[in-house]
Every structure is written in structure tokens, then in C-alpha cells.
């Protein structure tokens, strides 16, 4: 069985990625999976994607692609080291001996997305009807995601992931050059961040049709982004997950400056990190490099601006 005992301490996007890893591994290895209840059940109808059993500890236990599941007394933490270049025979052998655990500090998030993503994640994350297809069908709907306060301090790697206003303005110009009848949806968690303020100012000056998302409801913002035709993306895993869920075949724009920081393995912090931490960081950088090199059929880039 593949298990999550504790959902990642990361925010919503990281939780989606961790659960996707759980489901992809379960499907590939042909074993059961389990995880605790988590906030994704507010917008995803997880009961449609699996058989759900609630036990006395109020866990959500899902049995998938497996009959006569054997219960193992031993657990093994499956780490990113074993999964960056997965040996499927070895992983299958381990899954026959242990319950494989993918808690932190396993860090099986977006760094292993392209290695494991063999099934369309939409199968594992059906969006509830009340959140599904909420945008008009007679316009080209463009989602703009702008990070703010979470990337300015230590938790945001001291601003390493900032996307400046010029990126958003250039991306809007690109969309306008190729599409008519466009409506923009600007989603953020920081109404004071300069990139947000300058983007809104630009949309207003150009008299482009736009709406501002709901800063008090990140679930609604996520579903808006997931239903868009085009995404002008930030570096956040929040919008990364909106790319591969909801509407299919989105056109996705990413920042050239951000991609180059990852290609060049720009340091995450102002002081040198321990070697083990640095190696983990490099593998997260590689997600963006793989994406730049073509990604996969579930997530690829339309343009880099």
C-alpha cells in the first residue's frame, strides 16, 4: 500500500501534488492507497475517484487497483532520492514488502511530477459540480495568478520567485495579439503587491474586460484558474495544479526570467544551504527545466515571456 500519514505542511498546491503522487504511484504499482482527509475534499469529489471507507480514526482509506490487499507491519519512507529516476522493478518489490509512506520529508511533490504522471490527474481530482465550468463559454477566459506576501520573506526564498509587473503586462499583450473577446481573471493573495497593482492598472488603462478573484476564498480562485482557456502563471504550485486540472488543453505562459533562474540553478537563499538541502532544491529546479523542455501531455508551456 502507498500511504500518506500526514499531509505536507505546504499550502494547497503542494497538498494536491502530494495526493497526485499517491494516486499515480498506486495506479502504476497496482497497490492500494490511503491518506487522511484533507482540504481538497472541499472542491474535489474524491468519492467519485475511488472507493472510500471511513475507519474509526476518520481517515479516508481508498482501495484502488488491488484485490486481497495484504496488511504489512513494516513501513518504509519513500524519498525523492529513490524516485527522481525511478526503478519500477525495485519500487514494486518494495511495495510487496512494505507500506510505502510519502510524508514529508519524502518531498514527492512537483519534483517527481513528470516521472510519475502516467494517468491524467483529472481522473483523481474530479471537480465538484458547483465549482465545475463556472466561466462563460462565449469569451476567451484568461487566468492571471500573482503571488505576493508568501514569496517576500524567508519562506519565499527571499524573493527568488518574484515575477515583476513587466512579465504580466507582456503576457497580456501576447494574449491580445492572438485572441479577440478576452476576459481576464486576476487571482492573488496580496492586493498590495506591486505586480498586482501594476497589472490591474494596465488592464484598467487598456479598458480590457477583467474581474478580480476572491482573496478570501482560495478554493474559488483555484476553480476559476482551472476553468480558464489560458493561464498567465506564477511560480506557485497553486497555479501549477490549476494547469493540469479542470479544463483540458490550456495554453500556459511562464516567465523567462523564472525559467532561467531554474536552468541556472539560482541559489534559493542568501546563505549557503547544506549539501543535502541543496541537492533537493536542484531536483525541484529540474521540474521547471523539464517543463521548459516539453513537459508532458498533461502539462506543457505555450509561450515563455
* 194 and 158 assigned to the same domain: yes
Q: What is the pLDDT of residue 151?
A: 73
Rounded alpha-carbon distances, angstroms, from residue 251 to 8, 131, 227, 272: 29, 21, 12, 37
C-alpha cell at 175: 494574449
Task: Dig out the grid coordinates for 298 from the structure.
Answer: 498533461
Whether 89 and 140 map to the same domain: the answer is no
Instruction: Specify whether 160 is located in the same domain as 267.
Output: yes
CB 17 within 8 A of CB 113: yes
Q: Which residues span the domain enclosing 189?
A: 130-304
Is the torsion defined by CA of 196, 201, 202, 203 positive or negative? Answer: positive
Residues 295 and 156 in one domain: yes
Q: What is the pLDDT of residue 58?
A: 43
Q: Which of 77, 105, 123 is the endpoint of a domain?
A: 123
Q: How far apart are CA 22 and CA 44, in angstroms?
A: 16
The cell for 296 is 508532458
**Do residues 63 and 134 both lie within one domain?**
no
159 plus 34 within the same structural domain? no
Q: Alpha-carbon distance 191 to 189, whole Å?
A: 7
Give the burial class of 168: count Cβ atoms within 10 A of its Cβ; 0-12 exposed, 13-18 middle, 19 or more buried.
buried
Distance CA 287, CA 303 (A): 17
pLDDT of residue 65: 37
pLDDT at 47: 76
Residue that terminates a domain, selected from 69, 94, 123: 123
Where a domain ends, among 75, 101, 123?
123
Query: Can you tell me the distance from the alpha carbon of 289 to that of 295, in angstroms, rounded to the nearest whole number?
Result: 9
Residues 238 and 183 in one domain: yes
Residue 25 DSSP one-character state:
H
- The cell for 124 is 483523481
In this structure, are residues 116 and 28 in contact, taking their beta carbons and an 8 Å threshold?
yes
- Tell me the C-alpha distance between 19 and 2, whole Å: 11
The pLDDT of residue 303: 98
Residues 188 and 300 in one domain: yes
Are residues 269 and 155 part of one domain? Answer: yes
109 and 142 inside one domain? no
Is residue 184 located within the same domain as residue 257? yes
| Contact by Cβ (8 Å): 59, 28 | no
Number of domains in the chain: 2
Cβ atoms of residues 191 and 288 within 8 Å: no
Parts of the chain with a pLDDT under 70: 48-73, 150, 153-156
Q: 116 and 13 in one domain?
A: yes
Largest CA distance in the chain: 64
Question: What CATH number is given to the structural domain containing 185?
Answer: 3.40.50
Amino acid at each position: 500500500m502507498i500511504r500518506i500519514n500526514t499531509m505536507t505542511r505546504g499550502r494547497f498546491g503542494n497538498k494536491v501534488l502530494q495526493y497526485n503522487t499517491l494516486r499515480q504511484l498506486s495506479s502504476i504499482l497496482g497497490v492500494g492507497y490511503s491518506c487522511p482527509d484533507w482540504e481538497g475534499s472541499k472542491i474535489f469529489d474524491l468519492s467519485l475517484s475511488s472507493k472510500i471507507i471511513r475507519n474509526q480514526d476518520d481517515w479516508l482509506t481508498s482501495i484502488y487497483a488491488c484485490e486481497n490487499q495484504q496488511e504489512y507491519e513494516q513501513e518504509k519512507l519513500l524519498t525523492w532520492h529513490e524516485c527522481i529516476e525511478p526503478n519500477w522493478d525495485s519500487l514494486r518489490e518494495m511495495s510487496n514488502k512494505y507500506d510505502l509512506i510519502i510524508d514529508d520529508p519524502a518531498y514527492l511533490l512537483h519534483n517527481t511530477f513528470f516521472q510519475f504522471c502516467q494517468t491524467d490527474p483529472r481522473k483523481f481530482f474530479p471537480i465538484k459540480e458547483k465549482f465545475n465550468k463556472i466561466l462563460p463559454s462565449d469569451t476567451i477566459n484568461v487566468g492571471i495568478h500573482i503571488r505576493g506576501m508568501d514569496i517576500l520573506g524567508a519562506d519565499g526564498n527571499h524573493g527568488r520567485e518574484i515575477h515583476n509587473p513587466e512579465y504580466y503586462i507582456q503576457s497580456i499583450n501576447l494574449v491580445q495579439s492572438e485572441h479577440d473577446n478576452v476576459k481576464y481573471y486576476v487571482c492573488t493573495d496580496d492586493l498590495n503587491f506591486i505586480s498586482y497593482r501594476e497589472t490591474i492598472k494596465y488592464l484598467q488603462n487598456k479598458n480590457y474586460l477583467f474581474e478580480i478573484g476572491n482573496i478570501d476564498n482560495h478554493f474559488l480562485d483555484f476553480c476559476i484558474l482551472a476553468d480558464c482557456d489560458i493561464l498567465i502563471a506564477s511560480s506557485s504550485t497553486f497555479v501549477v495544479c490549476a494547469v493540469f486540472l479542470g479544463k483540458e488543453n490550456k495554453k500556459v505562459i511562464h516567465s523567462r526570467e523564472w525559467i532561467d533562474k531554474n536552468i541556472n540553478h539560482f541559489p534559493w537563499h542568501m546563505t549557503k544551504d547544506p549539501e543535502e538541502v541543496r541537492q533537493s532544491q536542484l531536483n525541484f529546479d529540474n521540474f521547471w527545466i523539464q517543463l521548459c523542455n516539453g513537459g508532458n501531455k498533461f502539462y506543457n508551456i505555450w509561450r515563455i515571456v
